[in-house]
Amino acid sequence: TFLEYVNMRLVSILREDKDFSGVSTGTGMSGNANGDDEAGERTVRTNTTGNVNYVQVTFTLGSKYTVNSNPNADKYESGLIPLDSVRVGRGTFLDASTSMEHVCQEYELAEDANDDTQMVGLAVGRVAKGVFDDGVEQDCGPQAAMCTSPSSIPDSFVSFNIPLGSQVFDGQASNDLSNNIFVDFVVNALDPTASGTPNNGDDPRQMKTTLTASIPIVAGGINIFCDGYTAKTDLKDVADAAIVVGTAAGAAELTRLRIIEGVASTDLAAVNSTQIDTDSIESALMTLVLRGSESYFASGAAQTGGYSLELDDLITLHMMEDGDAGSVVDGVASNSKEAAVLALLKEAADDNSEANGLDTDGYKLNGAFRFAIARADGVAKLEPTPELLAVCPFNPPRPAPGNSELETCITRRDVRSRTYPARTGSDFPTAMEIFNSEVMDDESGKTVNTWVLADEEAALSAQVVAATSDPCPGTSNGDYSKASFADS
C-alpha cells in the first residue's frame, strides 16, 4: 500500500467542573471559618458527565502522492478521504454483527445545514451536533476539526478526526481488549509522476485503497490541554520587549531617553545594526522591559495566571568600532567585526541531527548562538558558539608587547540561569533584576543606586518609575513587578 505509519488514538474530552460550591477547602479562604466555600486557589477538575468522544487517525503518504480531487464531485464522493466512505463501529470483533455507521456523512450534512440540533455519532452515543461541538471547542479543548479531508498535503502527513458521540467509552475499558472501535474509509490519491496507462505496464495515476483498522478501548491518562497550550505557545505571540537607554530623574527628562520597542523575536533573523545613543549622561545603562500580554497571562482562555515571564539567560555583544552593516560582497564578509557577527546570525539553524538520530549536544539557533541541553535537569541554556567567540571573545587577552591594538568586540554573559554573575575583579554584577518592592524600599534603593550611579542618595524610585513608565505603563501601581538592568 502507499500508506505508511498508520496510527489511531481515542480521545475523550471531559467537561471542566467549575462548581466548587460546598467543597470544603479547610481554609475558609473566602472568610467562612468552616472552609465550606468556593475554592480560593486555581484548581482544575473534570466532570465525566457529558464527555464527548472522537477517534483520530493519522498516516503518511509517499512524497510523490497528492490529493485526488474531482472538481465536478462533492466532498462526499471525492477528495483524499471521500466522506461517504467513512464508517465506524464499536464491538468485540469486526464481523457481520458489527454495525458500521456513516457518521461523517451525517455530521457534514448537519454542518452544511447549520443545524446544531441534528443528532450525530454512533447509535450508542448519539448527541446533538451543537453539544458535541461545544465539548470539543470549550476553553482549553483540542479545537479539533471533524470529518475534514485535507485539500493538500505539503508534508505528506494526514490527520483525520471522526466524531463518535458522547460517553461512548463509558464502562467499555477493559484489560483483555474485548471492546474496540473499528474504522474504515477510502484513501484516494494521485501519483503525478505516473503516465496513467497501466495497460501499457505503467504505474497507475490514481491510487486508491481502503484503510481498515481497530483500536481497543483501554483506560488512559488525563491531559490538561491548557497546560499543553501554554507549553507550546511561541513567546513572541504573547510577550514583547523594549529597551530603555539611559535614566531619567523625573517625568521632564523622559524625552531624553531612547526607547526601542519591539526588540523581542524568535525568528532569529539578522537585522542591520542600529546605533544607540541618548542625551542622558548615564547612557550606558540599559533597562530591558519584558511585557506579557494581559489577555494571555491574566484573562485569556489559557488561564495562565500561575505563569510569569522569567529572564533565564542574557548574552550581550559589545562592539567598539564603526562597522559596515551591509558589507558582504560575493559571499565574502568585510573585515569588520560587525559584518562577521551578522554573517554568523544569518546562518541557518541546525538541530544537530545525525544518521543515528538526534545529537544530544544541543540545538544550534544560528551561527552565533546555541542551546546547550541539560536533559537531566530538563532545561536548555543559551551559549555562544565557538565561531562567535573567535570573533568576540569572553575575556580578550592582553595585547602582545609593542602591539597597541585592542580587542574591539567582546562577548559578555549578563544573566546565566536566572543569576547575575560579576566579572572577575568587579564588586558588582553586569546586570541585576529589581522588583517593585525593592525599588520602593529605601535601603534596597540605596543598594541599587550604589551599583547604578555610585550614589546612595539618588532618587531611585523616581528613576525607575520614570524610565519605564512609557514602555511599561503600570509599573508604579504594581502591574509589572520587576525590571532588568544591564550596564554596557
Instruction: Write down the pLDDT at residue 212.
Output: 93
Find out whether 90 and 181 touch, Cβ atoms under 8 Å: yes
* 16 within 8 A of 45, measured Cβ to Cβ: yes
Give the tens place of pLDDT for each residue, 154-203. 888 999 999 999 999 988 988 888 899 999 999 998 888 887 666 666 66
What pLDDT is attached to residue 348? Answer: 84
pLDDT above 90: percentage of residues in the chain: 21
Between 34 and 317, the more confident residue is 317
The model's pLDDT over 391-406, given as tens digits with 9 standing for 90+, comes to 999 877 777 787 767 7
pLDDT in tens, 427-457: 777 777 766 555 444 454 445 544 444 444 4
Q: Among residues 155, 189, 152, which one has the least CA distance to residue 63?
A: 155
Contacts of 330 by beta carbon, 8 Å cutoff, 6+ apart: none
Question: pLDDT tens-digit profile of 290-302?
Answer: 887 777 776 544 4
Q: From CA 480, how far away is CA 472, in angstroms rounded? A: 8
In this structure, how many other beta carbons lie within 10 angstroms of the beta carbon of residue 453?
Answer: 16
- CA dist., res. 214 & res. 93, Å (int): 9
Classify the phi-psi angles of 428: left when phi > 0, otherwise alpha if psi is within -120 to 50, otherwise beta. Answer: beta
pTM of the model: 0.50
- The angle at the Cα of 54, spanning 51 to 60, to the nearest 5 degrees, equals 150
Under 8 Å between Cβ of 55 and 181: yes
Residue-wise pLDDT tens digits, 253-304: 777 777 888 777 656 555 666 666 656 555 667 788 888 777 777 654 445 5
Q: How confident is the model at residue 78 (pLDDT cuts 50, 70, 90)?
A: confident
- Decide if 78 contacts 85 (C-beta within 8 A): no
Question: CA nearest 80: which of 160, 184, 177, 164?
Answer: 160
Phi, psi values for residue 436, rounded to 5°: -55, -40
Least trusted range by pLDDT, from 24-33, 244-253, 367-376, 435-444: 24-33
What would the grid cell of residue 293 be?
Answer: 500580554
Supply 177's cell numbers. Answer: 481488549
Q: Report the interhelical angle of 442-453 vs 460-469 (nearest 10°).
A: 70
